[in-house]
Amino acid sequence: METRTARNWRWEKMEKASIQLSVLVRHFELYNKTEGKSPNTIDWYNQTLKQFGRFLIEKKKSSRLAELGEAEVREFIAYLQERRKWQDNPYVLNHKGKLAAISIQTYVRALRAFFNWLYKEGYTSENMLARLKPPKAPTRVFEVLTKEEIGSILGNIDINAASGARDYAILMLLLDAGLRCSELRNVELKDVNIEGGYIKVMGKGNKERIVPFGTSVQKALLRYVLHFRPEPFNPAIQNFFLTLDGKPLTKNSVRMIFRRIGQRSGVRRLHPHLCRHTFATDYLINGGDVFPLQQILGHTTLEMVGKYVSLASTHVAIQHRKYSPMDRINVAHARPWRQDKPVNKGGSIFPVQSSQRL
């Protein structure tokens, strides 16, 4: 009878080159869940890696670990740069325009995180994307909401209807506290202290923070919760903001609320994150400090807050055009210089120019 010798396998000696991308993606997802990554972050990684997998299939490339590296990712980036927006969405008929550079950057960051994990876990002997940098994207200035647009938005909400009272409270809270859309949807009754004027928010990375709000928001929230908030669909639902049938708001339902308000008010660019940008900018313009703002927004660094500082400075400069030196000088009687008619005759503020060329 033949006996088999047990072998004490070691991870570094095991053959890993033939592992398929789909297997690695499942392991990566499980790792992120056990690390406490947010559902949005995990979904972002999964969607990016699935898109990468579809690209490999479409181009008839192998998805074995040994054949995945910088070259394949660069081909994927080139593929994305030629790709049309909403190309895979059957509900969007207009596919004009290509993917924005900032969108492609998010794909690259997700792939870099995945390949860095492969290296740290010992699947690869080196980080295959260590030299790969995200493609450059143009730096754009946030176009925040103006006071007139905010007035139009709030003025076109019927606060005497259940949906309107809820929508008004949502807009007021976002514009006064700068919450993310996911944070807004997950806020529960126990998290909102209307009398104290603050709300407990669970942000990215499961980090809880306290966010204050003003008296106008207090009134809007109190009116909604006392008179218009429906009974929850079941006792387990504790979300503060609910649909009319008592269910938690979904990402799509919030998107539809903002689309409807944007159409009514004429501010069609309205979306939840625009309210966050507007809050941060107005907070600084009104004299707020960057460090409290960082805590309120839930940023771990001052990098993003620095962008709001730059934006606020730009808006302050625009608002202070009334101090323009030339606008405050009466130049109405000035005339263009003519050789046959010196302009200093008649009291022009400009002296006669000599014929010397400058």
Least confident among 55-64, 286-295, 313-322:
313-322
- Which of 176, 163, 184 lies closest to 261, judged by CA? 163
- Which of 69, 62, 64, 137 lies closest to 99, judged by CA? 137
The catalytically annotated residue of 112, 229, 276, 277 is 276
The catalytically annotated residue of 59, 255, 273, 335 is 273
Spell out the domains of the chain, with CATH numbers in brackets. 13-120 (1.10.150.130), 147-319 (1.10.443.10)
The catalytically annotated residue of 112, 166, 180, 185 is 180
Sheet holding 208-212, edge to edge: 192-193, 198-202, 208-212
The catalytically annotated residue of 98, 299, 307, 315 is 299
39-44: average pLDDT: 88
- Residue 296 contacts by C-beta under 8 Å, 6 or more apart in sequence? 177, 178, 209, 211, 212, 283
Please report the pLDDT score of residue 91 as a whole number: 43
Convert the pLDDT of each residue in 143-175 to its tens digit.
Answer: 889 999 999 999 999 999 999 999 999 999 999
Q: Which one has a higher pLDDT value, 115 or 102?
A: 115
What percent of the chain has a predicted confidence (pLDDT) above 70? 80
Convert the pLDDT of each residue in 251-270 to its tens digit.
Answer: 999 999 999 999 999 999 99
User: What mean pLDDT, rounded, does the chain reach?
Assistant: 84
Q: How many CB atoms lie within 10 A of CB 187?
A: 21
Convert the pLDDT of each residue in 190-218 to its tens digit.
Answer: 999 999 999 999 887 778 899 999 999 99
The catalytically annotated residue of 45, 224, 283, 308 is 308
Report residue 279 as tokens.
Answer: 């809050």
Q: Report the C-alpha gap between 218 and 123 in whole angstroms.
A: 53
299 part of the active site:
yes
269 part of the active site:
no
Please report the pLDDT score of residue 350 as a whole number: 46
165 burial via Cβ count (<10 Å: 0-12, 13-18, 19+): buried
The catalytically annotated residue of 85, 200, 204, 260 is 204
**With bands split at pLDDT 50, 70 and 90, how would you rate the model's confidence at 313?**
confident
- Specify whether the backbone of 239 is left (phi greater than 0), alpha (psi in -120 to 50) or beta: beta
Q: Report the C-alpha gap between 197 and 213 in whole angstroms.
A: 5
Over 90: is that where the pLDDT of 326 sits?
A: no
50 part of the active site:
no
SS3 for the chain is CCCCCCCCCCHHHCCCCCCEHHHHHHHHHHHHHHCCCCHHHHHHHHHHHHHHHHHHHHCCCCCEHHHCCHHHHHHHHHHHHCCECCCCCCCCCCCCCECCHHHHHHHHHHHHHHHHHHHHCCCCCCCCCCCCCCCCCCCCCCCCCCHHHHHHHHHCCCCCCHHHHHHHHHHHHHHHHCCCHHHHHHCEHHHEECCCCEEEEECHHHCEEEEECCHHHHHHHHHHHHHHCCCCCCCCCCECCECCCCCECCHHHHHHHHHHHHHHHCCCCCCHHHHHHHHHHHHHHCCCCHHHHHHHHCCCCCHHHHHHHHHHHHHHHHHCHHHCCHHHCCCCCCCCCECCECCCCCCCCCCCCCCCCC
Report yes or no: 308 and 280 within 8 Å, Cβ to Cβ.
Answer: yes
Please report the pLDDT score of residue 180 as a whole number: 92
Report residue 146 as tokens.
Answer: 């103006």
- Residue 274 contacts by C-beta under 8 Å, 6 or more apart in sequence? 144, 145
276 part of the active site:
yes
φ, ψ of residue 239 in degrees (nearest 5): -60, 140
Report yes or no: 65 and 18 within 8 Å, Cβ to Cβ.
Answer: yes
Convert the pLDDT of each residue in 45-102 to its tens digit.
Answer: 999 999 999 999 999 999 999 999 999 999 999 999 888 665 555 444 444 567 888 8
